Amino acid sequence: MTALLNLTGWELLALAAFTSIGGFMRGFAGFGTTLIMVPLFSLIIEPVEAVFIGLAIDATATIPLAPNAFRQAEWKPIIPLMTASFLVTPLGAYILVIASADTMRLAIAAMVIFSALLLLSGWRYRGERTPLLSFLVGAISGTIGTATAAGGPPVAVYFMSGPSLAAQIRASLNCMAIIKLSISAMAIAYASSFTAATYYTALALLPVMLGFSWVGSKFFHGVSDEKFRRLLNFILILVGVAIIARTFLL
């Protein structure tokens, strides 16, 4: 297994299992993929590789979702969100690359816990979604998303705070992911010095990611708006408990 970051068979199987969960979340909810995968990946591989592989396979998995996502997405808030996110991507990549492995593990765990608690709190923004507010949310999400791969929840909270239907929320999140994940992954690859083994590992996990993304998308169809939000809350509760347990008990 030297071509795959010197992984043992059991380690590769664990990465595949983590990827299957992330893939399901991409297809079903439109976010939470790297939020789940990266902290678990970082138990087995270096954080910088965990973030890159998570972003790279997630970006690829969004490609089949692109037609519906671009058609149904809410573009008015997306444009300032994405503009800000692009501007801060180099900052996030720089933070990821220069920080030590232990520091990044702590940062990833902290961002995941904070993001999960924010979503689980039930807080909803009731004000107007102005271009300036969208820009600020995009800047925050872009920085922490590139540095820790946990940038999705702030944007998810932003979209879920409004009256949008489940299909619009999911499409908007997938639309942003299609663009942002690709940019972040390329920025990290450019700023890092990965060997071929890192890319081979990503390729080995990609079929799992694509397959379970398809499964997740099938589960989404036919789900009502109310049930969609309830299921997201249930999933996030499980994620929050699992990440807190991993952080403090392992």
pLDDT mean over 111-121: 68
Comparing C-alpha atoms, which of 60, 16, 50 is closest to residue 214? 60
Percent of the chain past pLDDT 90, that is, above it, reads 12
Q: How far is CA 180 from the centre of its chain?
A: 10
Question: For residues 207 and 215, what is the distance between their CA atoms, to the nearest angstrom?
Answer: 12
Question: For residues 171 and 152, what is the distance between their CA atoms, to the nearest angstrom?
Answer: 13
Q: What pLDDT shows up at residue 249?
A: 58
Q: What pLDDT shows up at residue 1?
A: 42
- H helices of the chain, where? 9-28, 33-41, 47-61, 66-72, 75-98, 101-120, 131-148, 152-160, 166-191, 196-220, 225-249
Residue 185 pLDDT grade (very low, low, confident, very high; cuts 50, 70, 90)? confident
Examine the pLDDT at 16 and tell me if it is beyond 90: yes
Examine the pLDDT at 179 and tell me if it is beyond 70: yes
pLDDT mean over 107-126: 69
The 10s digit of each residue's pLDDT in 136-168 is 988 888 887 777 766 777 787 788 777 777 788
Q: What pLDDT shows up at residue 2?
A: 44
Q: What pLDDT shows up at residue 240?
A: 59
Q: Where are the domains of the chain?
A: 2-249
